[in-house]
Amino acid sequence: MSYIVINNLSWNLPDGSPLFRNISFTCSVSKTGLTGKNGAGKSILAQIICQKMPPSEGSVYLDGTVFYLPQNLEHFKNCTLIDVIDTAEKYRSLQKILSGQGTEIDYLTLDNDWDIEQKILLALQKTGIEYLKLERDFSSLSGGEKVRALFSSLLIGSPDFIILDEPTNHTDRELRAFIYEFVKNTKTGLLVISHDRELLRLMHTIVELTPTSIKSYGGNYDFYNEQKEIEIHAIENAIQAAETAHAKRLAEKETSLSRQTSRIKQAENSKGNAGMPKIILNKMKGGGERTLAKIKNEHDKRVKESQAEFEMIKQKRIISRKMKIDFNPVKAIPDKHLIICKEMNYSFTGKKLLWKQNLNFLMRGTDRFHIKGINGSGKSTLYKLILRMLQPTVGKIIVSQMVIGMLDQEVSMLNDQFTLLQNLIFHSGGKIPEHELRIRLARFLFFNEDVYKKAGVLSGGERMRAGMACLFAANSSPDLLLLDEPTNNLDLISIQQLSAAIKEFSGALMVISHDLDFVNEIGITNEIILSPKLKTA
């Protein structure tokens, strides 16, 4: 049986500080999901396993072949489809041989694999891209076609292990369904880096990477989530117990010192009244003070130990803080008409309309709409029509006078050259005191020196939190919040934080998302399904 063994692996950043250190685990031919915070080093770990980069310390033993589907496909930008499928040499040698121009090298390259073209076409058919020409530039393909092409390579190559790095990120429901089906049916060993809870439910094991450890949970996402809840509860109980023990030690110290001080004073008073010589009184006083010092030292030692234990347990605390929004909650009127859309459609050319059917919907004050459709179906175009960045080609859309907040996937409202505090000052119009802005940033989990981080260095989860802080920086919260794939690029903790924050929002909401877990968590009341007239590439 093939397997991957990782032994005491470490990887250091350019400045020498460790990203992760001394991690060890084993993967066999099963389905393993790899999770962890953004920036924990999951993609770097995957590249080390594939021998695309060396570790700083430790070793990786790979018994079998491995295929790596990276998150970033820039590596393939100058390739053709047949290059990506990784059978280009055999395929081109076969074409030369069939045309009578083959050489001895072509026969050696083909290695009697005479049905290679049939294998390629069958793989393309299974992945739904049989209509593509093999010499087509990979960069000209749609995002979905690129992913399907790489899965075609998997079907032909038959590796022992497959490493998938965020395979469902930026994919629509149709492509996600294809990936889920592939993962369900494959007999090949899988290591899947993902924050997609639906995908992680298909795993046999979840492995969580932290800077100092890697921990395995013997079950899928739901089992992992249950265990994390148990861990959180246990750690919080341990913290409370340690805090209580520390407070008890402090109280014992205070009581003992107070008792000994009282004894010294009583002894001085009683002996003084008995007419004892001053030299004896001073000696007795000195003995009492030495006893007091000894008692103090003993209690200081105990307090220090309990404080150290308390701090050590606190370091194990799993981050479960929640963002808090609605500084000045909107007074949402449930029956107020926010958007009236009648027989609306749009054309980029002025001729062919975008949607098969004209759009008709009414959005009221507390409605929550889910915008559904394949990639290229016009979801972002609908947002632009609501924001009056575009005008309908036919029909009409009436948007009431209100405050609309918009968060796109890149959180482009942030100025990457500005610090968090500077971004907040800009979006608040400079009318709110700095100390108040820092309080607001803290409500979005940015504390102390965090406010001086430049937006350009933030992780995906931090960018989303910073964008939310900017949206709610003004004196009045948005009446309508527009979200465009908000969970893309977020780790599991960030998704949970965002979901909890959205639940607190009291206004109307529109969300474009292919993350059904997230959609189900935020209380959707309506949905709009967009179908383009022509299926887009």
d(CA 349, CA 138): 27
Average pLDDT over residues 420-435: 87
Strand locations in 252-403, DSSP E?
337-345, 359-364, 368-372, 394-399
Fold of 3-223: Rossmann fold (3.40.50)
d(CA 81, CA 135): 6
d(CA 469, CA 423): 9
Average pLDDT over residues 213-238: 87
User: Which residues are within 8 A (CB) of 282 and not within 5 positions of it... i.e. 6 or more apart?
Assistant: none
- Whether residue 473 is predicted with pLDDT greater than 70 in this model: the reply is yes
d(CA 162, CA 137): 24
d(CA 264, CA 346): 91
d(CA 95, CA 117): 9
CA dihedral 307, 309, 311, 316 (to 10 degrees): -170
Predicted confidence at residue 536, as pLDDT, reads 40
Q: 27 and 189 in contact (C-beta within 8 Å)?
A: yes
Q: 481 and 408 in contact (C-beta within 8 Å)?
A: no
Q: 423 and 416 in contact (C-beta within 8 Å)?
A: no
Residues of the chain with pLDDT > 70: what percent? 90
Predicted confidence at residue 1, as pLDDT, reads 61
Fold of 337-529: Rossmann fold (3.40.50)
Average pLDDT over residues 437-444: 86
- Whether residue 33 is predicted with pLDDT greater than 90 in this model: the reply is yes
**Per-residue model confidence as pLDDT tens digits over 323-345:** 666 545 556 788 889 999 999 99
Token pair listed for 472 = 């709610």
pTM of the full structure: 0.77
Predicted confidence at residue 220, as pLDDT, reads 93
Q: 203 and 175 in contact (C-beta within 8 Å)?
A: no
Strand partners, 483: 407, 511
User: Which residues are within 8 A (CB) of 60 and not within 5 positions of it... i.e. 6 or more apart?
Assistant: 4, 5, 6, 7, 9, 48, 49, 51
Eight-class DSSP state of 25? E
Write the DSSP assignment of 504-522 as a string of letters.
H--SEEEEE-S-HHHHHHT
For residue 379, with 0-12 CB atoms within 10 Å meaning exposed, 13-18 middle and 19 or more buried, which class applies?
buried
Predicted confidence at residue 322, as pLDDT, reads 62
Q: 46 and 40 in contact (C-beta within 8 Å)?
A: no
**Per-residue model confidence as pLDDT tens digits over 493-532:** 888 888 888 888 888 999 999 999 999 999 999 999 998 8
* Region of poorest pLDDT, from 49-63, 286-300, 388-402, 484-498: 286-300
- Whether residue 59 is predicted with pLDDT greater than 50 in this model: the reply is yes
**Per-residue model confidence as pLDDT tens digits over 65-86:** 888 888 877 778 788 888 888 7
**Per-residue model confidence as pLDDT tens digits over 476-496:** 678 899 999 888 878 888 888
Phi, psi (deg, nearest 5) at residue 517? -60, -45
